[in-house]
Structure 1
């Protein structure tokens, strides 16, 4: 393990992250906030710590190995969660505990959107903007950003990219050089963000709300500047814009690039994962709307479709925006929506969950096993986009699914042992491990009622969900630390 190289990278990245304290301070100054000292003090602390980490090992520029990349990514996200909590801890207007500050910070960076804050309208603009900014930076992954803009790192960026990028197919690059791939992903991400800002602004949001909600929409985060989330605006147009950009952000960003390069939207329809993704949203929306209408939750089909479509897209893509308390919907609908977050969005998107491509491969593998029972001597290939999928990829997906369920059950049992009811424990772990945000029961609107011990475990669940389990779990194996 090249500890000096790892220390150098952490120092550089921490210095870069310190710069993220400046935009909220500027926004707060423009909006008339009185006390901006939490951000200036946080900036000074982080840039100082980063400098002290970097200076002694600044000449260590050897290439990273894959193991080093996993350690850098996990350490950096853990350090980032702690560092990002500094302004929240130092703010006298918030007056929250260290545990709550770290929970809020990590929830933002992992684009989970679970919150412990209430009374958002009374908070300083700088704090509100900072929460949204955390999600925007975490959306595509600040590690990818660092690889794109910091060639000065002097390391092989592919090791960081593979450890950071969500999805089972991590070796596919859009450009020959990894730095070019990272830049390209961020260009697409930035263009979507700008388009979303303009759309929200034209629809009637203030510039501050438009920027803030665009950050959390494109990042699939779900934080809002209002306690009522997007329900505060009570606008069908704003909800439609949110639906569009949540759907777009839940699509594989590599697919966006192919559509742009070929100038042909039909490329979307040729992708198996995209078709399954849109089909899932369509079926869930239709089932939810019909059920809501039958039970007289809404009186017209258009009203039922409006609320059903918004919440299906929001929960299925793991964004977590709400316009009403969906946990109070009748029958099985709240649990159905929560289950959809386990599937999540497409690979190489900003969405959470297990990813559509993995779920699609699991279904195809299940169908293959059934067909093998009927025709035991036949050979069946699993195909995606008309191409056979390697057996090692299929086996890896099964392994991921098994570990996902194991981790979920383990953390849920811890919450149950702490005295939380079954609905709250189940949905709290689902909301954090899937990077969703809102749950059911006592965590339907916020995680204030969760005890500190449980919050630290949920922080771990958020981190593992964001880094797709194995990036974190591999550090716990003896083989990883052997020379």
Structure 2
């Protein structure tokens, strides 16, 4: 293992990450909210630590290999999550313990959206902006941002990209060079953010709230500047804008790239995974709306409005709230949480297991039924017109098996910390799917969750963000053998 390479990259990442404190310092000065100090100190500390980590490897010409790529991918989430917690810990308001500060920072960077903070409406503007910014930075993956910058510093990034890129197929490049790919994706991401912010602003949000919510909408994070989340604005237009951008952000970003290059929307409707995603989310919107109407929880238009918004918000793993869905009757909250396990498309900002995996599991199940009827038959699994290699199918089954095994083990550990079953099940599913909201004790926020459970949930967030294998491979003895 080439530790000097790892230190060099982590040092550069810390120095770059320290710059994230500057916009919040500017917001604090603009609104005079008295929070310049924690961001100023954090900027200096993180930058100096970055230099100290980087200096021992200064001048090293070692190239990063795949093993270092996996380790760096996992390490910088932990390192930057810790660095990101510093201003939250130092700030007089909201006065967080280190555990809570780390949890909030890590939840933001992984775009989970689980929060331990209440009273958001009264927080300093700079703290609110910083939380939203953390999600925006994590939305496309800080690693992808790094690969757009590190090649210019003479550090190759393909290993990082392969380790971070979500979904079962990871080697497809949109452009020949990884730096160009990362830049193209970020231009699209930035474009969505700007348009979303302008749309929110035009719909009646203040400019500050519009920018903050555009950060978390495009990142599919779910952090809000209000305790009541999107429900604070009580605006069908704002909710409709959120639905549009959540659905767009849950698409494979390569579809956006192709649509932009070809000036055509045809690719969206020809992609089997996105077709499946839209079919499931459309059915969920209808089912939620009917459930609310038939149980007289909501009436008429409002049932359609609330049911549709929450269906999109939870399935895309955004986690915004327009109403208290945890108190909805019958199976509705449970079904909503189950939908988050599907999530969005591969190579999107959404969490969950990804729609392509669920589609392949379904198709494999159908194939096994056919084989029972015709034991000698040959039934290839196709996505669209493309036949899936058996290796990909095996990898999907492997992912599903490891996901469920890990979920079971972590659920047992959470129950051992004293959480009741409903709370433990919902917060673990929320963390591993990078969703955010929970049920039971976590229906309002995570402040009442005990500290050991919060650390376990942070680990679950990282598992979900890195899609399990990228993290678990580091714990394999084979990984550390020469």
TM-score (norm 2): 0.99
In the aligned structure 2, how far is the partner of 1:212 from the partner of 1:303? 26
- 8 Å Cα contact 1:200-1:238 kept in structure 2: yes
Partner of 1:447: 446
Output aligned runs, 1:79-98, within 5 Å: 79-98=79-98
Secondary structure of 1:257 counterpart: helix
* 1:394 CA displacement: 0.7
Q: Does 1:156 align with 2:150?
A: no
In the aligned structure 1, how far is the partner of 2:435 from the partner of 2:331? 19
Secondary structure of 1:85 counterpart: helix
Partner of 2:105: 105
- 8 Å Cα contact 1:147-1:182 kept in structure 2: yes
What is the CA deviation profile of residues 250-292 of structure 1, one whole-angstrom value per residue up to 9, with x for unaligned ones? Answer: 0000011111212221211111001100000111111111111
Partner of 1:325: 324
Secondary structure of 1:448 counterpart: coil
In the aligned structure 2, how far is the partner of 1:60 from the partner of 1:185? 30
Partner of 1:358: 357
In the aligned structure 1, how far is the partner of 2:140 from the partner of 2:195? 17
In the aligned structure 2, how far is the partner of 1:135 from the partner of 1:35? 20
Partner of 1:11: 11
Q: Does 1:404 align with 2:403?
A: yes
Secondary structure of 1:353 counterpart: coil
Q: Does 1:461 align with 2:460?
A: yes
Output aligned runs, 1:156-305, within 5 Å: 156-300=156-300, 302-305=301-304
* 1:337 CA displacement: 0.3
In the aligned structure 2, how far is the partner of 1:35 from the partner of 1:366? 55
- 8 Å Cα contact 2:81-2:109 kept in structure 1: yes
In the aligned structure 2, how far is the partner of 1:374 from the partner of 1:106? 49
Could you tell which deviates more after superposition, 30-39 or 311-320? Answer: 30-39
In the aligned structure 1, how far is the partner of 2:171 from the partner of 2:155? 17
Partner of 2:431: 432
Partner of 2:413: 414
- 8 Å Cα contact 2:150-2:157 kept in structure 1: no
Could you tell which deviates more after superposition, 472-481 or 29-38? Answer: 29-38
Secondary structure of 2:19 counterpart: helix
In the aligned structure 2, how far is the partner of 1:370 from the partner of 1:2? 49
In the aligned structure 1, how far is the partner of 2:369 from the partner of 2:393? 16
* 1:96 CA displacement: 1.1
In the aligned structure 1, how far is the partner of 2:61 from the partner of 2:12? 12
Partner of 1:313: 312
What is the CA deviation profile of residues 11-58 of structure 1, one whole-angstrom value per residue up to 9, with x for unaligned ones? Answer: 001100000010011011112212310001000001000001111212
Partner of 1:45: 45
- 8 Å Cα contact 2:25-2:35 kept in structure 1: no
- 8 Å Cα contact 1:62-1:154 kept in structure 2: no
* 1:429 CA displacement: 0.1
In the aligned structure 1, how far is the partner of 2:376 from the partner of 2:23? 64
Secondary structure of 1:150 counterpart: helix
* 1:152 CA displacement: 3.7
- 8 Å Cα contact 2:229-2:322 kept in structure 1: yes
* 1:168 CA displacement: 1.1
Q: Which runs of 5+ in 2 are unaligned?
A: none
- 8 Å Cα contact 2:35-2:126 kept in structure 1: no
* 1:155 CA displacement: 2.9
Partner of 1:390: 389
What is the CA deviation profile of residues 388-429 of structure 1, one whole-angstrom value per residue up to 9, with x for unaligned ones? Answer: 111111100101001111111111111111221111010010
Q: Which runs of 5+ in 1 are unaligned?
A: none
In the aligned structure 2, how far is the partner of 1:61 from the partner of 1:162? 22
- 8 Å Cα contact 1:66-1:159 kept in structure 2: yes
Cα-Cα RMSD: 0.8
Secondary structure of 1:208 counterpart: helix
- 8 Å Cα contact 1:63-1:154 kept in structure 2: no
Secondary structure of 1:73 counterpart: helix
In the aligned structure 2, how far is the partner of 1:322 from the partner of 1:28? 27
In the aligned structure 2, how far is the partner of 1:331 from the partner of 1:129? 37
Output aligned runs, 1:363-382, within 5 Å: 363-382=362-381
In the aligned structure 2, how far is the partner of 1:66 from the partner of 1:385? 32
Output aligned runs, 1:66-81, within 5 Å: 66-81=66-81
Aligned residues: 482
* 1:62 CA displacement: 2.5
Partner of 2:135: 135
- 8 Å Cα contact 2:316-2:340 kept in structure 1: yes
In the aligned structure 2, how far is the partner of 1:457 from the partner of 1:419? 13
